[in-house]
Chains A and B, each alone.
Chain A
Amino acid sequence: MLFITKQMKINRLNKIYIVLSIALVVATIIKILNYKGWERFYYFTSICAPQNYPIAIHDAYFLTGEGEDDFAWINSEDVKNFTSKWGEEYYSQEARDRLRLPTKLVLQYASYRDQKFYSDTLDLPRKKILNIFKSALKNKTAIAFSSGGGMDKKGLNFLVGIANDGNIIVWLRGVFLEKVIFKGKIKPHEPQGDETYFEKRLPKAVYLKKMFEDLPDSVKTKLNSGFDAKVNYIDSPTHYIEKNRKLWEYQKKNKYID
């Protein structure tokens, strides 16, 4: 560049283009820094609850940063259909884009058996989650999410377990990998504001009736009679690794997974 300036007078167009180049470089750097690609991973999250402790989720998502758009969606299909079993994730897991890792878990739900409302924002251990992701990718214990492009999307599954009495657990799972990253308890409280919102704000009893109207009557009768009442689900093991061992060994043998 120096030899050009010595011998020539740079015209206005070239000056504009040089400024444009600098602006593009700066914009690219800002974009990279804002995106924080090194903190992003593929993951999928679902919720499970014990079969005998049905719940109605009002809100469930991860916060992944400070911005308004920084959240990650959580699948609660099984719980909604009352087909969820303790320790079992949603069967169809997909991960579209790499996301920043969750820092907080926002939960708002009502429980059928005690007819109580639970709502809280829980802090998740950031460092621990990051380390598990890094070591899973390094040690080939990550899950390969299916994708149309043939490109491998490797990541992990979060599973949020909502047990009885407001007990919450969060697992992080891969291949031959299951780690508890959070265990806590939410206290029940009287619902406020939109917590009983379904098409409009409803009285507590009406909301609960509406939420659980699809729960089969036979199940309701069973639960109301006190079936399986004093079980402490939060401490019951999931047997996730034992259940999947045969499948993974088969997949590894046939090179479906690394």
Chain B
Amino acid sequence: MERTEAELIAAVLKGDSSSFEPLVQKYSPRVFATARRYARRESEVEDIVQEVWLKSFEKLASFRGEAPFEHWLMRLAVRTCYDFLRGHQRNRESAFSELTEAEEDWLERFVVEPSSAPEDSDAAKLLINRVMEKLSPQARLVITLLEIEDRSVKEIAELTGWTVPLVKVRAFRARGEMRKILSKIAKDKYL
């Protein structure tokens, strides 16, 4: 018979670390998808996910079982991703590299007729990734959670540990930061 999550967690806390494996198996897809939002290289993604699981194992005793394990784990995952972004801030300070031909084509199509630039194209994906990489860690986290993952301010506050007003302030600043980057791209390209 398959054991429940609560039973698995209780077994891990009693010292049976092999009971942790089904939890890793079940939730790794979600953790990987989250980590891939913040890190581009696959080796970095694996490092982040590994750290999330090691931390969750170490801190498992602090899981009270009041909320689902998944919520607790995702909080840990988001905070680990944020730490990763803060630790790699230097990367975003590098010079804005030139746009690829596909990205330039996409931008040109957008300038001529915004609706003609498809949002599901690879070029659009590359461009948004490029913009996200230029954002500060706070701005990137807020934009990802609020605008891309479509989470509420309250949810973001719970995930990040920030207060609701702080999330709102950071979201406002993040949008401004993003517009600034976009205007820089436009300036570099069209002026």
> Is B one of A's binding partners?
no
Q: Name A's B-contacting residues (CB within 8 A).
A: none
Chain B residues in contact with chain A, CB under 8 A? none
